[in-house]
């Protein structure tokens, strides 16, 4: 059999085939490594050791608390004991119980001391003071009363056991402080809201108080963009954020939950003073905000992002009735295992 010389085109084909075989072997090796690697990835999307570390951090750094108003129909001592028994270490409180209350418009400082001392005796910290009012209320007299209460809370935050005072960001709706108004979106409304917080922050800086704002898509601070803008426009450590992600989602944004949650924490995370735990779901008029576990919030991601703040943070359960407390608490604790 006579051998003929190999043509240049045949040589090129032979070399291409060799390269193809090498590339295929490399591809198979890469695929195998990916399969092995995938077995170490948990539901969190993190490698197993990293997920375990973050889960441990979530359990140690996220301090479970509750809105004390859930227990407000009970006498003080019974309420605080029950809060502790139910597994909570902190509260958001308006200092109101069946047998004693602190009225900021007629302050009884003995009542305030009794309440704060009872919390301290049971090892329940006050994570935030309820200072909610409509900072741009079109009803001037109603707004004045809200300012008067807030001013007293700011001036006496140390006496009340906590520097953090939480409030909403206001709406120009005349009938509800939680409903939308067309005027909320205009620049003049934002400037009015900013002016209200600049005044509160100047007062807070003098006493060591912190004003923590809770944004809501039906209020003037209605989006991540506006929340970030307000924090930049009022660059003071006395202005912080109540992280309540459910409030940011309009119905049409629910499918974009993961990137929006990540965006919230990327842009607002450094200024979070306290966090809330409730839920969100689509409704005819936008969204409903039920108790934790009754909606579609991506809790594993939310808790993971809180853990990644890498500092202690109070997570306050809200929108609850007393009988529903064990269910909501157990739901949130179960989500910790999915971080």
Residue 17, domain member (yes or no): no
Residue 265, domain member (yes or no): yes
Return the HEC string of 151-198: HHHHHCCCCCCCCEEEEECCCCCCCCCCCCCHHHHCHHHHHHHHHHHH
Residue 10, domain member (yes or no): no
For 113, the domain range is 61-336
Residue 221: C-alpha distances to residues 152, 187, 310 (Å): 24, 11, 26
Q: Is the dihedral angle over the CA atoms 218, 292, 211, 139 positive or is it negative?
A: positive
CB 290 within 8 Å of CB 327? no
Report the pLDDT value the prediction gives residue 44, as an integer from 0 to 100: 53
For tokens 């750094």, what's the residue? 61
Q: What is the CATH number of the domain that holds 228?
A: 3.20.20.150
For tokens 């003098």, what's the residue? 206
pLDDT in tens, 252-267: 999 999 999 999 999 9
Instruction: Look up the pTM and report it.
Output: 0.86
pLDDT in tens, 4-26: 444 444 444 444 444 444 444 45
CB 89 within 8 Å of CB 313? no
Residue 160: C-alpha distances to residues 45, 95, 233, 279, 314 (Å): 43, 9, 29, 29, 18
Find the distance separating the first CA and the last CA of the chain, reported in whole Å. 71
Residue 81, domain member (yes or no): yes
CB 161 within 8 Å of CB 120? yes
Q: CA-CA distance, 320 to 324, in Å (whole number)?
A: 6
Q: Which two tokens stand for residue 24?
A: 């295929």
Report the pLDDT value the prediction gives residue 63, as an integer from 0 to 100: 98
pLDDT in tens, 30-86: 444 443 344 344 445 567 778 899 999 999 999 999 999 999 999 999 999 999 999
pLDDT in tens, 182-203: 999 999 999 999 999 999 999 9
Provide the b/e sequence for 314-336 (b: ≥16 CB within 10 Å). Answer: bbbbbbbeeebbeebbebbeebb
Residue 11, domain member (yes or no): no
Mean pLDDT of 231-235: 98
Q: CA-CA distance, 165 to 151, in Å (whole number)?
A: 11
Residue 16, domain member (yes or no): no
CB 61 within 8 Å of CB 307? yes
Residue 320, domain member (yes or no): yes
Residue 329, domain member (yes or no): yes
pLDDT in tens, 165-187: 999 999 999 999 999 999 999 99
Residue 338: C-alpha distances to residues 41, 294, 296, 302 (Å): 12, 17, 15, 11
Q: Is the dihedral angle over the CA atoms 330, 331, 332, 335 positive or is it negative?
A: positive
Split into its structural domains, the chain has a count of: 1
Q: How many other CB atoms sit within 10 Å of the CB of residue 272? A: 19
Q: How many other CB atoms sit within 10 Å of the CB of residue 266? A: 12
């Amino acid at each position: 059999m006579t051998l003929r010389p190999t043509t240049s085109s045949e040589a090129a084909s032979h070399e291409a085939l060799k390269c193809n075989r090498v590339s295929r072997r490399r591809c198979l090796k890469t695929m195998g490594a990916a399969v092995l690697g995938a077995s170490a990835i948990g539901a969190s999307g993190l490698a197993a050791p990293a997920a375990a570390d973050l889960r441990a951090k979530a359990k140690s750094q996220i301090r479970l608390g509750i809105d004390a108003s859930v227990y407000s129909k009970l006498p003080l001592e019974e309420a605080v004991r029950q809060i502790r028994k139910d597994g909570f270490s902190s509260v958001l409180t308006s200092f109101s119980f069946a047998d004693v209350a602190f009225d900021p418009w007629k302050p009884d400082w003995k009542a305030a001391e009794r309440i704060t001392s009872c919390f301290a005796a049971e090892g329940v910290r006050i994570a935030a003071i309820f200072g909610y009012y409509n900072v741009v209320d079109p009803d001037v007299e109603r707004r004045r009363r809200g300012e008067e209460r807030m001013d007293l809370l700011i001036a006496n935050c140390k006496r009340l056991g906590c520097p953090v005072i939480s409030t909403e960001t206001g709406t120009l709706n005349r009938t509800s402080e939680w409903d939308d108004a067309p005027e909320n979106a205009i620049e003049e409304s934002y400037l009015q809201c900013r002016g209200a917080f600049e005044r509160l922050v100047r007062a807070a800086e003098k006493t060591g108080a912190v004003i923590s704002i809770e944004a809501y898509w039906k209020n003037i601070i209605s989006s991540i963009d506006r929340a970030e803008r307000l924090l930049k426009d009022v660059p003071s450590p006395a202005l912080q954020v109540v992280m309540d992600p459910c409030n940011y989602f309009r119905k049409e944004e629910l499918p974009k939950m993961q990137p929006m949650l990540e965006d919230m924490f990327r842009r607002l995370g450094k200024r979070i003073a306290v966090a809330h735990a409730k839920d969100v779901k689509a409704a005819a008029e936008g969204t409903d905000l039920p108790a934790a576990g009754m909606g579609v919030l991506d809790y594993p991601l939310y808790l993971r992002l809180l853990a990644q703040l890498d500092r202690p943070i109070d997570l306050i359960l809200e929108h609850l009735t007393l009988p529903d407390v064990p269910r909501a608490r157990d739901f949130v604790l179960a989500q910790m295992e999915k971080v």
